[in-house]
Homo-oligomer: A and B are copies of this chain.
Amino acid sequence: MDETHDALTRKLQAFKGLGPEDLAMLRELQKPRSLIEAGKEVVYEGQYPHAAYILREGWACAYKRLRDGSRQIIDIQIPGDFLGLRSLLLRASDHSFLTITDVEVARLDRQRMLEVFRRTPRLAVGLMWAASRDEAMVVEHLVSIGRRDAFERTAHFLLELGERLKLVGIGDGSTYPCPISQSILADALGMTAIHINRVLRQLREAKIVVFRDGVVEFQDIKRAADVTGFEMAYLDQGPAT
């Protein structure tokens, strides 16, 4: 019944119901939309103030590049996610963005954000919840890179992505479209593209998950969750763990 809702609205509803004014403001926030084509690097440096964006359609990622040219992807953004929310408050933005597919975004500047806090505090809490959840994902990502080996880490990542997508109505958690290349996956998981390829083969041969032709398909999602120790509590979105 809420097929008419956009991704962000769906996501926020999963947290707490919104009133009519909240929904109106949310529509308003996503009003001036713009399109960016796939593969565009949005370098995001220099001085404050920056704007943030709501990603309405398409996939993107936030990354940091190191001096030696290597790249670490901080997180992957899917419809309903924010881009650069942190930079609304920090004086120096510290990372850049890359559009993975063609995307549609809505600009969100400081001014409008403050307006949300003044006029629709319930929505404001919802947005802060979403930001907290994003942070929890970065934290889990950190744990993965620090303490899980490549095999576990990859499966964990694909499981998380499936749940996130399900929340905004894409896929069912066990099969979903996934337009990211192996080299992006590698930079997200802190390994090389060559090794990610080997790991994906292992996952395939272990009959856990197949990632091929832009589609992720779990064959044994239970065992996947078990092997990687995936607990979805930190996503704060589903039936309790």
Q: How far is the CA of A180 from the CA of B53 in the complex (A)?
A: 39
> Is there a chain B Cβ closer than 8 Å to A148's Cβ?
yes
Q: Do B142 and A90 touch across chains, with their CB atoms under 8 A apart?
A: no
Q: Do A147 and B90 touch across chains, with their CB atoms under 8 A apart?
A: no
Oligomer copy total? 2
Interface size on A, residues (CB 8 A): 42
> Is there a chain B Cβ closer than 8 Å to A161's Cβ?
no
Chain B minimum-CB-distance residue to A142: B142
Q: How far is the CA of A70 from the CA of B229 in the complex (A)?
A: 12
Q: Do B147 and A70 touch across chains, with their CB atoms under 8 A apart?
A: yes
Residues of B within 8 A of A147 (CB): 66, 70-72, 190
Residues of B within 8 A of A67 (CB): 229
Residues of B within 8 A of A204 (CB): none
> Is there a chain B Cβ closer than 8 Å to A41's Cβ?
no
Chain B minimum-CB-distance residue to A63: B143
Q: Do A72 and B142 touch across chains, with their CB atoms under 8 A apart?
A: yes
Digit string of A84-128 for contact with B (CB within 8 Å is 1, else 0)?
A: 001011111011000000000000000000000100000001001
Known A-B contacts A89-B125, A89-B132, A128-B89; the reply to A94 vs B146 at CB < 8 A is no
Residues of B within 8 A of A86 (CB): 132, 135-136
Q: Do A129 and B90 touch across chains, with their CB atoms under 8 A apart?
A: yes
> Is there a chain B Cβ closer than 8 Å to A74's Cβ?
yes
Among all A-B residue pairs, the 6 with the closest Cβ atoms: A146-B190, A94-B234, A92-B233, A72-B146, A89-B132, A72-B143
Given contact pairs A66-B143, A72-B147, enumerate 12 new A-B contacts (beta carbons under 8 Å).
Answer: A66-B148, A72-B143, A72-B146, A74-B139, A86-B135, A89-B125, A89-B128, A90-B132, A90-B236, A92-B240, A138-B138, A146-B189
Pairs A–B under 8 Å by Cβ, sample size 27: A66-B143, A66-B148, A66-B229, A68-B229, A70-B147, A71-B147, A72-B142, A72-B143, A74-B139, A74-B142, A86-B132, A89-B128, A89-B129, A90-B132, A90-B234, A92-B233, A92-B241, A94-B136, A94-B139, A94-B140, A135-B135, A135-B138, A138-B139, A141-B142, A145-B145, A145-B190, A146-B189
